[in-house]
Amino acid sequence: MLQTVNGLVLRQVRLPSEGSRKLSILTNNGITEAFVNGANRKNTTLQSAAQPLCYSQFVIFENRGSRSINQAVPIELFFELTNDIERLSLAQYLCELALALVSGQDHNDEPLRLMLNALHLLSKNKREPEQIKAIAELRLMSLSGFMPDVLMCAVCGSYEHERMYFLPDEGRIVCAGCFKGTERSCELNRSALTAMRHIVLSPTEKIFSFRLGPGSQKLLSDASEAFLLAKTRRNFAALEFYKSMKRDNGEQSENESEQQ
C-alpha cells in the first residue's frame, strides 16, 4: 500500500547495510518510523528530504507493518539554523523532546504544528531561544497528559499573588501565603505565571504570542525545565549540549564586551 504523508524528520539512524537509514518522522498522526533503502543513496532529493529537521513530503510503501520510503521531496529545510550552533542545538533538543513525549498512536496534529512553528521562529530569529524552549517543553508535556495545574493556588484557591511558587514534582502552584518552603519549588512572578498559563491554556496558534523581560523569562525557563525533568525522570543529551553551547556563547559575548 502506498501512502503520501507530510512530516518532520526528528531522527535519522544509520543501519548496518550500506546507505540504509531508519527515520522517525513526526506527522499529523504521531510519530511514524520508515526506512530509506540503501539503493536510494544516489537520489539526492530524497536524501536531503530525509535529513533531521527537514519537513518533507514522503511517499511511503507499507508492507506487513514495515514502511519504506519510495520518494521524498523537501518542503521546508529551516536552513538558517545551520548558521547558529546555539539555535541548531536547541532545535535538536526539541526533536529529542518530541521523540520522548509524542507517541506513535497520537491522532493529533498539534505536536507537528507546534514543532513547525517553533522551528520557523527559531530559524528566523523571531523569538528568544529560551522562550521557544519553555513553550515547547510545557506545551508538549501538556499534550502528552502532563498538563500542570497553573490556574490557582492548590491550597487556598487564590488566582493572583505577588509571588507564586511552582512545585515541579506535583505540577501545581501555591501562593506565597500558603508556601511552606520545604517542597522543591520555582518562584514565579506575575509575568512568568501569566506566560505559563498562556502556554498551557491557549490554542496552539497563539502560544508563541507573548513577550517577557529577561528576569521573568529566567523564572519561566527554570520552572518549565524542572517540571519536564521531574515528570520524565530522564536525561536529554541534546539539552546538555544546548546548555554547553549557550554557556560558550555567553562567555564569548562577555569577553567581547570586556574588550570594548
Nearer to Zn ion, 54 or 175 (CB): 175
Cell 532529493 -> residue = 45
Residue 175 binds Zn ion, judged by CB under 5 A = yes
Nearer to Zn ion, 75 or 178 (CB): 178
What single DSSP character describes residue 233? -
Among the listed residues 135, 137, 153, 132, the one whose alpha carbon sits nearest the alpha carbon of residue 97: 137
Sketch the per residue contact string, 15 through 34, with Zn ion: x for CB under 5 A, - otherwise. Answer: --------------------
> How near is the Cβ of 197 to Zn ion at its closest, in Å?
16
Among the listed residues 155, 152, 242, the one whose alpha carbon sits nearest the alpha carbon of residue 188: 152
Sketch the per residue contact string, 99 through 138, with Zn ion: x for CB under 5 A, - otherwise. Answer: ----------------------------------------
Q: How far is CA 183 from the centre of its chain?
A: 27
Nearer to Zn ion, 126 or 163 (CB): 163
* 191's grid cell: 509575568
> How near is the Cβ of 167 to Zn ion at its closest, in Å?
12
> How near is the Cβ of 158 to Zn ion at its closest, in Å?
5
Nearer to Zn ion, 118 or 150 (CB): 150
CB 48, CB 71: distance < 8 Å:
no
What single DSSP character describes residue 183? S
Nearer to Zn ion, 165 or 227 (CB): 165
Residue 178 binds Zn ion, judged by CB under 5 A = yes
Count Cβ atoms within 10 A of the Cβ of residue 196 and give its class: 0-12 exposed, 13-18 middle, 19 or more buried. buried
CB 69, CB 32: distance < 8 Å:
no
From CA 92, how far away is CA 87, in angstroms rounded? 9
Number of residues that bind Zn ion (CB under 5 A): 5
> How near is the Cβ of 199 to Zn ion at its closest, in Å?
22
Within 134-153, the residues that bind Zn ion by CB under 5 A are 153
The residues that touch Zn ion, with contacts defined as CB under 5 A, are 153, 155-156, 175, 178
